[in-house]
Structure 1
Amino acid sequence: MAFNAFGFAWKHAYKIPGPILRGLLNVAADVTWLLHNGGVHQLEKNLQRVRPDLTPKQVRALSRPAMRSYLRYFGEAFVLTHASEEQVRHRVRAVNDGPVVAAIAAGKSPVLALSHQGNWDLAGVWASAHLNPVLTVAERLKPEEVFQDFVTFREALGMTILAAGDSGVFRELLRAANGPGRLICLLADRDLSASGIEVDLFGRRARVAAGPAALAVGSKTPLIPASIHYERITGERRRHAGSPWGIVITFHPEVEVDRTLPKTEQVAAATQGWVDALAQTIHAHPQDWHMLQKVFIEDLDPERYARTLAKESHG
């Protein structure tokens, strides 16, 4: 069922006029929000941690535009292969791209740490055209047909995709990071490997992926956090973009790494560094953090998490 829905959307969504498609997705988001299923419930738990100043009623209200933002991402993804270069260019506004541009000019392949914010696929298309070709890692979805659809979709946009969990992925990333001509973009606010790192996130313990920091430390490549949020666009820019929505990519300062520390401590400190940077934008634009999964330690199954920690300590 999921495969058919995704496959149908990728083949036919572009035929639907933009305003109608956006309206349909808003309706789907609102219905999902009203049903208040497990994913929406978890989203609200995460939003409450991001904005502890809000009452439960205010968090519930915030989750509605958050679901619309989440479905907007999918709607844009379904038609992104049909977007022109001009449309992509006008849909994206880059802020503080100096550090990443300088690193590329110096012949390096920077590592970008990202979270599930805004439209990361649109950001990847823009970056591949205006910075360096993007190399990234994607979660291996089930069934396999859905995963292959996502890989085909992203590779059609100019990105190179590796599958999380496949053997040799980190070695391939390390090889790329040690040479020029790439931009290595890693969505890391969820630990998909069961070997993540505990960090402080909004004053609570959370578990994120070690990949960006481990790769930057191992290759001595710049680690640059990059956050994404939606913005309304108007006037001439909207006409050229072909959409009322654009994204802002904010490139945060390079994470400083103390090379005198043991490597494990370097990785832990660098991970906390990129998490702190991205938390700023998540707090400012919580509705665009598409996190319907468990990332905070207190939400994880205690016994299973204890077994994970025990396995790591003996690994």
Structure 2
Amino acid sequence: MDERMADLAYSAGWTLVRRSPERAGRAVFQRLADRAWRTHNDGTRGLERNLRRLVGPHATDSQLRALSKAGMRSYMRYYYEMFRLPAMGREHILANTRQRGVEVLEEHVRSGRGVVAALPHMGNWDHAGAWIAARGTPLTTVAQRLSPESLFQRFTAYRESLGMEVLPLTGGAANTVGTLARRLREGGLVCLLADRDINGTGLEVDFFGEKARMPSGPAALALNTGAALMPVSLWYDGPRWNIRIHDEIPVAAEGTRTRRIQDTTQELARVFEGAIARHPEDWHMLQPVFSADHDADRARRREIEAATWHGLEQRR
């Protein structure tokens, strides 16, 4: 799908889904999930590569496929709810959410201590942001810049409509990291997805028995500002959303600054590992996380670039 078509598709989604009967809309998105799973498309294969690390080498292919089917249904539920959330309403969101640990987070914010909430790609993170905002705690988050710019602006407007301040990961007029630090020093809440290295500068950690790459931002912000670093896990339970705000991870006290960030990020990965293992079908990770997959992706890109260059040379 090219950029213009993607923009039109998302625009149509936000317009049509909120106007359609909920039961019919959910059924459509489940059929889309099952179709992607049956055709074993790139996304499904990426999900299965990640889930294979969770279930281990002794799980059968049929067991892995059953888990990936549930995973794709959960993933497409996220997309349905993304389009539907602006029409759900505050009371519906609050009434259908079960939580554990929010009182500690809110007490930190009330006392003037900032909180870095670090989340894996589980459940519905947009809902989690809307839910905490509906409880009266504003938040700041970061969004990966998308192409075309109009699509990025749609996502920004959508999340802002749910009560979030949204900063671009790259290409913004202001210093995003500096703004996040300022929000935390002011006693605010910053929410960051933290289980995937997007820009290639992440740290290598142990994760499900392998090396994986995760961003250093949450640990670095906690170290620099004194904010509480609190992991958050999300999952579905029938029609309800579940949110668990885990105990604070203290910033590692020993070693150099680099070592402290590394050790703190490793502890964050450990908490993510336990949460994902309890609800693997709700981990929406279709992209490479593990270092071996990153290396394989880079090798494939080099092969494609080399083949393209060779083809150009042959035409000369």
TM above 0.5, yes or no, is yes
Identify the range of structure 1 (49-58 vs 84-93) with the bigger mean alpha-carbon deviation: 49-58
Q: Which runs of 5+ in 1 are unaligned?
A: 233-244, 306-315
2:198 is the alignment partner of 1:192 = yes
State how many pairs are aligned. 292
2:286 is the alignment partner of 1:286 = no
- Does the aligned pair in 1 maintain the 2:94–2:134 contact within 8 Å? no
Q: In 2, Cα distance between the equivalents of 1:217 and 1:109?
A: 12
Secondary structure, aligned partner of 2:212: strand
Deviation at 1:98, TM superposition (A): 3.5
Deviation at 1:303, TM superposition (A): 9.2
Partner of residue 227 from structure 1, selected from 208, 229, 233: 233
Who is 2:252 aligned against? 258
- Does the aligned pair in 2 maintain the 1:99–1:254 contact within 8 Å? no
- Does the aligned pair in 1 maintain the 2:141–2:167 contact within 8 Å? yes
Who is 2:40 aligned against? 36
Q: Which runs of 4+ in 1 moved over 6 A?
A: none
- Does the aligned pair in 2 maintain the 1:231–1:246 contact within 8 Å? yes
1:20-99 correspondence to structure 2 within 5 Å: 20-52=24-56, 53-99=58-104
Partner of residue 119 from structure 1, selected from 99, 118, 124: 124
Partner of residue 218 from structure 2, selected from 212, 216, 235: 212
Who is 1:5 aligned against? 9
RMSD after superposition: 1.5
Per-residue CA shift, 1:114-164, capped at 9, x if unaligned? Answer: 011000000000111225211000111222222111111001111000111
Who is 2:312 aligned against? none
Write the letter of the residue equivalent to 1:272.
Q
- Does the aligned pair in 2 maintain the 1:109–1:176 contact within 8 Å? yes
Q: In 1, Cα distance between the equivalents of 2:281 and 2:132?
A: 23
Per-residue CA shift, 1:172-195, capped at 9, x if unaligned? Answer: 111111112x21000011112221
Q: In 1, Cα distance between the equivalents of 2:98 and 2:171?
A: 34
1:138-217 correspondence to structure 2 within 5 Å: 138-166=143-171, 168-180=175-187, 182-217=188-223
Q: In 2, Cα distance between the equivalents of 1:56 and 1:103?
A: 46
Q: In 1, Cα distance between the equivalents of 2:78 and 2:298?
A: 32
- Does the aligned pair in 1 maintain the 2:47–2:286 contact within 8 Å? yes
Q: In 2, Cα distance between the equivalents of 1:17 and 1:213?
A: 43
TM-score normalised by length of structure 2: 0.89
Secondary structure, aligned partner of 1:300: helix
Q: In 2, Cα distance between the equivalents of 1:303 and 1:229?
A: 29
Who is 2:241 aligned against? 247
Write the letter of the residue equivalent to 2:35.
V
Who is 1:239 aligned against? none
Q: In 1, Cα distance between the equivalents of 2:244 and 2:183?
A: 23
Per-residue CA shift, 1:50-108, capped at 9, x if unaligned? Answer: 12152221001111111010010010110111111110102211112243122112211
Partner of residue 295 from structure 2, selected from 287, 294, 301: 301
Deviation at 1:2, TM superposition (A): 1.1
Write the letter of the residue equivalent to 1:229.
W
Q: In 1, Cα distance between the equivalents of 2:171 and 2:135?
A: 29
2:140 is the alignment partner of 1:135 = yes
Partner of residue 115 from structure 2, selected from 107, 110, 126: 110
1:258-277 correspondence to structure 2 within 5 Å: 258-277=252-271
Deviation at 1:288, TM superposition (A): 0.4
Write the letter of the residue equivalent to 1:126.
W
Deviation at 1:271, TM superposition (A): 0.7
